[in-house]
Chains A and B, each alone.
Chain A
């Protein structure tokens, strides 16, 4: 059982926007601004897309944005493109002994 809860799948058509949620507790998502998001294409290593809730690393498209409200963080992808089809994982620092926890992952399908 994953510590952070994500929907198993989301889908959208090219050009549309989608949002992936990531729900935790006050011990992780809600307690710190240390949520990050990773994109993973099949057979590839994860890639950092968002860090510290809403910051984009250099080179990541501005179509990707992050936010947080209470114990739930969100990743929004606007102007969906075929290349965005991948698995997405949220991650948060936690005050528990695990230090960091991942969400279960969300499979994004671009229709």
Chain B
């Protein structure tokens, strides 16, 4: 059974760093892109970026380029989303999702989400 399990909720202060994770299981982790999606409180879905764990090829949405960093450790089948200096506006639910295939354009499995709260 394919599963994406994300790390737990985080409460941080502005300016702090953070790294959240997404662990894949039930499939060959290195053969599928993993994307990250932001959902701000009461708002819609926004695509942030995507990584191919097989070779760490990473693409970012222009809105998030330079604001976050996406990485993966294929030895433990885990993808990461990282901030070096959080802002209050980073408060949101973050989902990881598996791209259905290398050249496919939809996301077939989603993690349960990680709630990030940034507040002084």
A interface residues with partner B (beta carbon < 8 Å): 2, 32, 34, 36, 38, 40, 45-48, 51-52, 57, 89, 91-93, 97-105
Contacts and interface: CB of A to CB of B under 8 A. Distances in A.
A34 B97 CA distance: 17
Interface in B77-120: 95, 97, 100, 104-108, 110-113
Given A34-B105, A46-B110, A57-B108, A51 B44 contact: no
Contacts of A52: 105-106
B108 A48 contact: yes
Interface residues of B, number: 22
A47 B47 CA distance: 15
B62 interface: yes
A38 B106 CA distance: 10
A22 to B, nearest CB: 12
Given A98-B47, A102-B46, A48 B62 contact: no
Nearest to A99: B59
Contacts, number: 63
> Could you say which of B44, B50, B59, B112 has the most chain A C-beta atoms within 10 Å of its C-beta?
B44
Contacts of A48: 106-108, 110
A96 to B, nearest CB: 9
B9 interface: no
A102 B107 CA distance: 12
Contact of B44 (A36, A57, A102): A102
Contact of B45 (A47, A99, A102): A102
Contacts of A103: 44
B44 A104 contact: yes
Contacts of A36: 105-107
A10 B107 CA distance: 25
Contacts of A51: 100, 104-106, 108
